[in-house]
Structure 1
């Protein structure tokens, strides 16, 4: 989409001093390794996080052979690929999210996106819970500091595929219980974005404007820097 391509181009030239001035004045002796896992929402804010944190951490995300960002999609895909995404790198911190794809309707035969309310969800709440538990267990084995980002809200009416109103809240409740049991910190992007949707989200869409991704990116940066305990953020 043009808005995402334009966002990536422009974000690479934004001055860190404008939005996160503290990030450019000190550099740790050894940069931390940070992994971002998530769907297209995380793809949208990844370039901003990478650019703003380039003096503090090496921020990575799964990439495809052609050099484009890989969409981690839902928990079903996550269970299948989590070990590959982690790889052999010793990550200091992993910021992850699953949910927005799980709650969409899909054709039961083809598995393709659907606008038919009679078609099933990609992963219902029970499946989501079981899948997310497996993913968390794999992430915990890395020894990395973990942050789970809640699934962002969306309008009651969205373009294909169909996502029923209010499902983010239901999936987030399940996810938060799992994270609490595992002592995993939560980056509540849902609560952050909810009152700002008219300003930062595209109409009838789950995706965000350039400014919306920039705002989400700042929220992600704030939580990451808190966890990595850089002196200027203590």
Structure 2
């Protein structure tokens, strides 16, 4: 029995030593460990990127310049190293199919793959090379997002990131963005900003802010004859079970539903 207890004690000590060796003990060590992991992923990513055709390498460079080092770019690199698909996959156009561009924030990112799935064989579905954020960022980056290709349909949204933007500024920036996108000759579709659960951590103020921005946007879109994809009205009756608790984001089922609805809106425009 004594030998058994001694063995258990030694085993526990060994596990504790291994844990101590593998886990950081303070913030500096944690940061250093993360930096080393990020460096290893980046090296693998760059090696993978070097194997790509020139047009795909060029797309990855655009992503590196626009996704941002804090969150989305590291995620993208990890996906590519692991062989996973994501919203920013390079899209090899089928010249027989129309070209569609999705512009929007993390909600739009969430439904991009579902839109592509529904529209496979019907359209080449691209998305802007970042979380597009507020209208202020849109005015600054719209030329990068549009690139130099021809677009048949542009499906876009600006709203949640503009919740604290003064109404007059929001309206004026929408006007600027619409004017620029119309120059492409594409048919435009505006998606209303999606609803949030009543227990959102941002409080009831966010609900009223979203309502205000949707009201402004709908007025502007009606003025210009732009098609509306009313995701807010579509999702509101079925929000329970698809919205993340206390959050503006959605679960997989929510994004699947949005992907189907967005694809339906795009198809309707293309058929005209």
Q: TM-score range by the shorter chain?
A: 0.7 to 0.9
TM-score calculated relative to the size of structure 1: 0.73
Aligned residues: 185
Partner SS, residue 154 of structure 1: coil
- Determine if the alignment matches structure 1 residue 45 to structure 2 residue 111: yes
Q: Alpha-carbon deviation of 1:161? A: 9.6
Change (3 A) 1:29 1:134: closer
TM-score calculated relative to the size of structure 2: 0.63
Match of 2:230 in 1: 188
Relative contact order (C-alpha < 8 Å, sep 6+): which is higher?
Answer: 1
Structure number with bigger Rg: 2
Change (3 A) 1:126 1:211: same
Tell me if the contact between 1:201 and 1:209 (Cα under 8 Å) persists in the aligned partners.
yes
Task: Please list every run of 5 or more consecutive structure 2 residues that lacks an aligned counterpart in the other structure.
Answer: 1-70, 77-81, 86-93
Partner SS, residue 160 of structure 2: coil
Distance in 2 between residues matched to 1:224 and 1:165, nearest whole Å: 27
* Aligned with 2:200 (options 136, 158, 162): 158
**Residue pairs, 1:58-97, within 5 angstroms:** 58-63=124-129, 70-97=130-157
Task: Please list every run of 5 or more consecutive structure 1 residues that lacks an aligned counterpart in the other structure.
Answer: 13-27, 64-69, 104-120
Distance in 2 between residues matched to 1:101 and 1:161, nearest whole Å: 15
Distance in 2 between residues matched to 1:162 and 1:32, nearest whole Å: 41
Superposed CA RMSD in Å reads 2.5
Q: Which has the higher helix share?
A: 2
Distance in 1 between residues matched to 2:207 and 2:125, nearest whole Å: 33
Tell me if the contact between 1:187 and 1:220 (Cα under 8 Å) persists in the aligned partners.
yes
Partner SS, residue 201 of structure 1: coil
Distance in 2 between residues matched to 1:124 and 1:214, nearest whole Å: 32
* Aligned with 2:100 (options 24, 34, 53): 34
Distance in 1 between residues matched to 2:101 and 2:204, nearest whole Å: 30
